Structure 1
């Protein structure tokens, strides 16, 4: 198997994370977070796999498979998309950028093999070429924009009215990330961590250092605070789009039909409510370390969910994602227990 370890591990003070492939921090993890939010830093997302789809029918083909409307995606722009099971459960999540001739998809490392297999299986006779180019390219995030590159803010679309739309979504949802070609890759503005946040594709052997670099500790803390879940870490095999508000807003086009699992999305949006919700928990900090993934979340005497990603935030203390039963997530002023810690929650948006 190819070695996808991050070159940032060679920087002074780098402490490897649990995977050993990226740096957890560089000696001052809380200061790294503040730098990222105040003046800007680079977050290392080089663990994400980069898959390209080329060929004239690529956009129409991806459009037929995914929850997002990408058939007429303008060149040098991006979005997010989901692939669902026939029962409407989230099977894959990907970021997308199209440069006019190639669609670039970035996916979580835990899902890369399965997603590539799915795309290959669904190609049939469609004249597209699919390639995993992770050996050559990597993704990084500039939290306050890349110096010298100005990109428009993401475009939003109105959400179709429905019985529960006001509860599940704001009046508008993100539909398109404006982007641009760079000298050796591309950039797309997502505003996912702060105003101006941009994902940038770079050669794997030339990861940039024109801003301070922050480790995975900072990355996890900032994405929890900003409402950016990670596939497989903050979702499970039963998750449907309406349970994960950030993806429902960014990766699902609610006026689009004719994709696998669309019936479930439509039924939940117009007739019902999801069985669970992704919640951001604020823990009391009585324990020094964040809870481990899978730690039960208890309300009263009942287990109502489990911890996903958890991290210590420089300003907010210990925070975590958790998928909770809807009745528990919707309870006003709910007092949760996570191990021996008390916690309060708010829907991740």
Structure 2
């Protein structure tokens, strides 16, 4: 974490652990604020940035990612998967443009490995890939009045899946059931905007709540424990605009296209809820069981404590098992998981 940014957060009441700002002095009140909003969240402990600059940036990234980055030439932001040649996801990135540069926002603990892998394929392309989160900070704004607060502070706010450049700041609208924005910029710009938004009534809360917002929105994340476990469609990546079936080749493109045009998808990602039972919580990669399967019928993609009670999670599960209406965490007779709605429709299986 940039020392000036850490100092800024501390001046606003942040208390820190090894992962960053753990809370701002009252965890119970912060938990309530997550759903009441508006809230501010420091995301630097969770998000890394890779910048691509040079005349071949779009062509190069289009040859690596599942989405068509030409859609960003007039602004906006989008999700994109980075796959193995077998079509298995190594990472899911949110991609946006600032000026002539393109940025991939992805989990911080995957940044270096993904950057090294991408650099292997640069060859003669006129593109430079480098870490960018050392010079920029990322924070979030979510909840009621968030668009109005940005319009008051910046003069405008981006539309759905849109982006806005204001000096060295980039503001990204994140689609989902509640108003949510990611803000990326220099420490000085971020400090100024954070303070303005807090003075307007946004409450600082721990950054890990951003992960719960993703679960609520049905947006998958791939971490170290789930790399190479899923193809894009099983985590609903095409349903949240993360896959283009019209663009050219990229690693795993044949597999992804075959699943789309010819395959019968037997697994999908669902939103589930676990009532609180002790201190143990689901983790990415944990098994899901159902009465119709002797072996595991699915796996947890990501999970986070719910603001009210229990744990909300996203899990890839056999569609036939979901139809039985009975799913269990970790063992066939483990704690029961309840199905919760996603903010988008799943295609009918078959």
Normalised by the length of structure 2, the TM-score is: 0.80
- Spell out, residue by residue over 1:79-136, the C-alpha distance to the aligned partner (whole angstroms, 9 max, x if none): 2211222111112321111124111221111210121112211111111222212211
Does residue 334 of the first structure (1) align with residue 326 of the second (2)?
yes
Does residue 344 of the first structure (1) align with residue 327 of the second (2)?
no
Q: 1:26 to 1:247 in 2, by over 3 A?
A: farther
Q: 1:30 to 1:231 in 2, by over 3 A?
A: farther
Give the RMSD, CA atoms, in angstroms.
2.9
* Aligned partner of 1:153 among 159, 177, 184: 159
Q: Counterparts of 2:329 and 2:131 in 1: how far apart (Å)?
A: 42
Q: Counterparts of 2:227 and 2:265 in 1: how far apart (Å)?
A: 14
Cα offset, 1:244, TM superposition? 0.7
Output aligned runs, 1:14-33, within 5 Å. 14-16=14-16, 20-33=18-31
Whether contact under 8 Å (2:302, 2:314) holds in the other structure is: yes
Identify the residue that residue 231 of structure 1 maps to in structure 2: 222
Which shows bigger deviation, 177-186 or 29-38?
29-38
- Spell out, residue by residue over 1:54-76, the C-alpha distance to the aligned partner (whole angstroms, 9 max, x if none): 11221122222221111252243
- Spell out, residue by residue over 1:2-56, the C-alpha distance to the aligned partner (whole angstroms, 9 max, x if none): 8799727625664545xx1322333444532443443411222213111211112
* Aligned partner of 1:202 among 185, 204, 207: 185
Does residue 243 of the first structure (1) align with residue 234 of the second (2)?
yes
Q: Counterparts of 2:35 and 2:106 in 1: how far apart (Å)?
A: 24
Identify the residue that residue 347 of structure 2 maps to in structure 1: none
Q: 1:120 to 1:288 in 2, by over 3 A?
A: closer
Q: Counterparts of 1:30 and 1:233 in 2: how far apart (Å)?
A: 30
* Aligned partner of 1:313 among 306, 319, 322: 306
Identify the residue that residue 112 of structure 1 maps to in structure 2: 111
Identify the residue that residue 174 of structure 1 maps to in structure 2: none
Q: Counterparts of 1:234 and 1:287 in 2: how far apart (Å)?
A: 23
Identify the residue that residue 45 of structure 1 maps to in structure 2: 43
Output aligned runs, 1:251-270, within 5 Å. 251-270=242-261
Q: 1:226 to 1:234 in 2, by over 3 A?
A: farther
Output aligned runs, 1:124-139, within 5 Å. 124-139=123-138
Cα offset, 1:337, TM superposition? 4.0
Partner secondary structure for residue 65 of structure 1: coil
Partner secondary structure for residue 162 of structure 2: strand
Q: Give the structure with the higher percent helix.
A: 2
Whether contact under 8 Å (1:278, 1:347) holds in the other structure is: no
Identify the residue that residue 58 of structure 2 maps to in structure 1: 59
- Spell out, residue by residue over 1:210-230, the C-alpha distance to the aligned partner (whole angstroms, 9 max, x if none): 332221442232221221222
- Stretches of structure 1 that go unaligned for 5 or more consecutive residues are 155-176
- Stretches of structure 2 that go unaligned for 5 or more consecutive residues are 345-350
Whether contact under 8 Å (2:234, 2:268) holds in the other structure is: yes
Whether contact under 8 Å (2:237, 2:243) holds in the other structure is: no
Cα offset, 1:320, TM superposition? 1.7
* Aligned partner of 2:318 among 322, 325, 333: 325
Identify the residue that residue 142 of structure 1 maps to in structure 2: 141
Identify the residue that residue 99 of structure 1 maps to in structure 2: 98
Query: How many residues matched?
Result: 322
Whether contact under 8 Å (1:153, 1:191) holds in the other structure is: no
Whether contact under 8 Å (1:49, 1:109) holds in the other structure is: yes
